[in-house]
């Protein structure tokens, strides 16, 4: 399911072509390879962004004086529920 969601995100955010042009690219091996490279870069950037967010949350959620501590704790609990 996660792979499908990431691919849908790539199609919505990063791919700038029509469905017809996608089909043409998939039929051509050279264009298909370029498309896979674009997809790989998109997935890498998405993962890096997620890790930066988690790093930020992890660094501040235990600070009792942080104004968003409760929201961060709720985010961790939600994330744990999705991955548990």
Q: Which residues of the chain have pLDDT under 50?
A: none
Any residues with CB less than 8 A from the CB of 16 and at least 6 apart, and which? Answer: none
Separation of alpha carbons 27 and 44, rounded Å: 25
List the domain boundaries for the chain.
18-83
- Predicted pLDDT of residue 30: 94
- Torsion, Cα 18 20 23 25, to 10 degrees, reads -60
Q: pTM of the prediction?
A: 0.65
- Mean pLDDT (the chain) is 84
- Predicted pLDDT of residue 84: 61
- Predicted pLDDT of residue 1: 54
Separation of alpha carbons 61 and 4, rounded Å: 31
**What percent of the chain lies above the pLDDT cut of 90?**
21
Separation of alpha carbons 10 and 16, rounded Å: 10
């Amino acid at each position: 399911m996660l792979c499908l969601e990431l691919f849908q995100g790539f199609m919505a955010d990063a791919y700038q072509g029509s469905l017809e042009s996608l089909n043409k690219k998939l039929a051509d091996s050279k264009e298909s390879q370029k498309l896979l490279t674009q997809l790989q870069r998109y997935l890498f950037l998405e993962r890096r962004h997620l890790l930066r967010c988690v790093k930020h949350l992890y660094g501040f959620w235990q600070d009792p004086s942080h104004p968003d501590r409760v929201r961060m704790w709720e985010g961790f609990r939600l994330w744990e529920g999705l991955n548990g």
